[in-house]
Structure 1
């Protein structure tokens, strides 16, 4: 008989607790729907900080609550977004705390190509609104990078094509970061590779690339879906190293193509964008060198001819120097007599002055200056004495002020300490008055058993030994040593009651 069926009369129907009913419902639902695939539209997506993902699956008539736990959510091939039509695989269970059932989702797949395209267009519009695809964010590609970082699968034909084309055009150092280019590991590995290359330190043990190439061969929309994930697009937009996207064939377009600095139709074309052709560059360099040599030769010839034309208009050097040579000869003839006349004139002037100079004049000047100095010192002495007296009076006044201030501070501190001592004495007297020792002096006693105070007769009877504290000390007493009161002879024996 089913435990949920009632008796026909209902009088002997079993009673169940709420937990028993919830457990029975949980077992029935999980037993019947242990593995289901549910098709519906995603609504009300919630991603709390715990890492779990909560959302609704709905159609035009019903809604089922769904949850993907943290470990399962990280492995989902499709990130749930509101408005997507998907097929969710999982199991039904109940949530007794709210009396509802929910779908524990283990995997999510788009419900057709139309759903994928709709989700792609919605994601593209959201990222475009953030400005991740703006042209002003694009960085120029270096003309000749020293080191090129390639993010792709190490075992496919893509990396061989890139290396072969680089070797043919202009050999460069290549760093390969192996990643999965398809499946659920594709997006996180590609994003980690882009951020890993950007995290390298310039000039470190591992050289930091000057250019990045993210490459993959062609495939279906599902195969290339990892390069449409938001984590890859954001890592590409944040890259400080210029990046070329070479995902799929020429007709394939993914969101990483819009975020990259350049988009190549094929991985081979990406290698061609990365470096020029070495032979063409050498030929161009040789041609430019030849043109420079011809231009220099022609320019020198023109300057030489111009110099020759101008030199014909100049006179002979001898003609230009003759006037100056003649003037030099003239002045050199006049220099000797002029020096002799000047020396004679200066000597006569010195002799006339030397006659007026003798030691008496200097001694008079020195004596006069000494008298002036003595007079100035006499005038200055009273002022200096007055300054000394003023300074002494000011120092005495300041010293007296300091002594007065020190006395005031000492008096205030002594009064404060006296007040604190009085308050302490008052508190001690109150403590002694309120203590139980004062109560003992009035004839009371404290009874203890095993260190604890005994306050009831029952506790005293059950104790093995008691200790009584009087005013003048403590006395140990056995609990059962007190004699029992004797019954009076006149009283009849207790016969009990028949009732």
Structure 2
């Protein structure tokens, strides 16, 4: 008591209550909750589902008045038969605990089961209607099943009895090449693996190392609605609807219906029935072929007999062949009888005509004929040789003449440009001389001058005395230079000029360059 008094600050109220730290009070609350609610089953509606990349799942369990935070660890999520979705009413099994970091309590959920078949079926029906509204279940999307596929792809668990039943039934009916894609047929990983398997089979190339199936079978044995729930997932339904390879769904027993059955091209009540739909019975097919062969042979034989009978019936309407050829045979016999004597007579006549001619034929006549023909041939050869020789000489002469003409033409062509240039040069020189002769500079050399107004001559030519008298300054251009002058009456006054003489006065010489102009200069007029 004294120690407590010593530790109590001065002026503070004294108390015997124990002081807890924050961690102590949080641990005490955690132990109380975990002891009182070691394992509980909570019924409620799922809300606010969160699945971060860590693999854990966070969600809420709520009713119309309260909310309980819930969490499932990654290992627990992978074992769940039903994937929790917002709005689903479930019964969650787990334990209550606290989260000291946020001063709240929460439930660690180990398993989840639907609160009732009605709620689960209602959610399934809502999903079915939504997918049907997109046209995924439309009959026109379904493809026909091939009559006898070469390769069959099976999507199922490799360790179950389903694959053995399928292989056994295929072996009994019609052995085919089977490619198995192993998947989980229930649990959290079921939907993703089945969807990847369907898309994987469709992605195989036609000429790849793994044969591309002509038909797919998605199979699973019977089970509860929760066990078959993976085949109701939207990802599986979309993969089945997008499959380019015809697909048979065989999930559960005949009474079980999943959404993949609506999207598949054909539904089988059992996996064994799917194998029966995939291939025909080989023995039945062989029997059918043999029966068809027999029917074809009977039909062919009957048709041939019918044709033969028809031919016989038509032949009765024809006459006897002997009667048709009797006259021709008779004429042939008569001609044959006359042929022998006629040939003998013809030969005798020819021999009679040949006798006199043969007497005239002697070797000397033939030799003379050959000698004459040789002479004719020799003369003809000489004439041909002479003609060829003359033609050759004429051709050579013509070639030489053409060559001489070509040489002359070449020389003229080479000289033509130079002659043209010379003529143009002469014409240019003449035009230049004419330009110099007609130019006013030649006129200046003959004693004339050009008078311009202004000291620089920029105000134009002066052609009259009246204009010159009215101008303040003038510029006079001679043959050897220009001279600036001012009229005597530079203020605009007029001055009479002496009468013109026949001989123009001698022009004054221009002042020398560099010499000052005289202050008083006489008028040029």
Aligned partner (choices 251, 268, 277) of residue 273 of structure 1:
277
Query: Is 1:379–2:383 an aligned residue pair?
Result: no
2:82 and 2:226 in contact (8 A); partners too: no
Task: Tell me the CA shift for residue 114 of structure 1.
Answer: 1.2
Q: 1:55 to 1:377 in 2, by over 3 A?
A: farther
SS at match of 1:109: strand
Task: Tell me the CA shift for residue 70 of structure 1.
Answer: 3.4
Aligned partner (choices 46, 51, 58) of residue 42 of structure 1:
46
- CA distance in structure 1 between the aligned counterparts of 2:19 and 2:258, rounded to whole angstroms: 62
Partner in structure 1 of residue 142 of structure 2: 138
Aligned partner (choices 64, 68, 84) of residue 60 of structure 1:
64
2:78 and 2:187 in contact (8 A); partners too: no
Aligned residues: 337
Deviations 1:321-376 (A, max 9, x none): xxxxxxxxxxxxxxxxxxxxxxxxxx9xx99x989946246424433344334533
TM alignment of 1:161-310, pairs within 5 A:
161-176=165-180, 181-182=185-186, 187=191, 190-191=194-195, 194=198, 197=201, 207-290=211-294, 294=299, 298=303
Task: Tell me the CA shift for residue 169 of structure 1.
Answer: 2.8
- CA distance in structure 1 between the aligned counterparts of 2:164 and 2:30, rounded to whole angstroms: 56
Q: State the structure with more CA Rg.
A: 2
Q: 1:96 to 1:277 in 2, by over 3 A?
A: same
Task: Tell me the CA shift for residue 254 of structure 1.
Answer: 1.0
- CA distance in structure 2 between the aligned counterparts of 1:26 and 1:249, rounded to whole angstroms: 48
Partner in structure 1 of residue 152 of structure 2: 148
Deviations 1:240-294 (A, max 9, x none): 4322112233222112212222101233322221112223322333344456565
| Structure 1 gap ranges (5+) | 1-8, 317-346, 385-499
Q: 1:220 to 1:18 in 2, by over 3 A?
A: closer
Deviations 1:199-235 (A, max 9, x none): 6665666544432323334443234334323454344
SS at match of 2:406: helix
2:83 and 2:188 in contact (8 A); partners too: no
Q: 1:15 to 1:378 in 2, by over 3 A?
A: farther
SS at match of 1:140: coil
- CA distance in structure 1 between the aligned counterparts of 2:194 and 2:204, rounded to whole angstroms: 16
Task: Tell me the CA shift for residue 81 of structure 1.
Answer: 0.9
Task: Tell me the CA shift for residue 79 of structure 1.
Answer: 0.8
Partner in structure 1 of residue 443 of structure 2: none
- CA distance in structure 2 between the aligned counterparts of 1:374 and 1:27, rounded to whole angstroms: 132
| Structure 2 gap ranges (5+) | 1-11, 320-327, 329-379, 419-525
Task: Tell me the CA shift for residue 46 of structure 1.
Answer: 2.9
SS at match of 2:250: strand
Q: 1:177 to 1:375 in 2, by over 3 A?
A: closer
TM alignment of 1:82-481, pairs within 5 A:
82-152=86-156, 158-159=162-163, 161-176=165-180, 181-182=185-186, 187=191, 190-191=194-195, 194=198, 197=201, 207-290=211-294, 294=299, 298=303, 357=391, 359-360=393-394, 362-376=396-410, 379-380=413-414
SS at match of 1:250: coil
Partner in structure 2 of residue 444 of structure 1: none
Q: How large is the RMSD of aligned CA atoms in angstroms? A: 4.5
TM-score (norm 2): 0.52
TM-score (norm 1): 0.55
SS at match of 2:248: strand
Q: 1:370 to 1:268 in 2, by over 3 A?
A: same
Task: Tell me the CA shift for residue 58 of structure 1.
Answer: 1.0
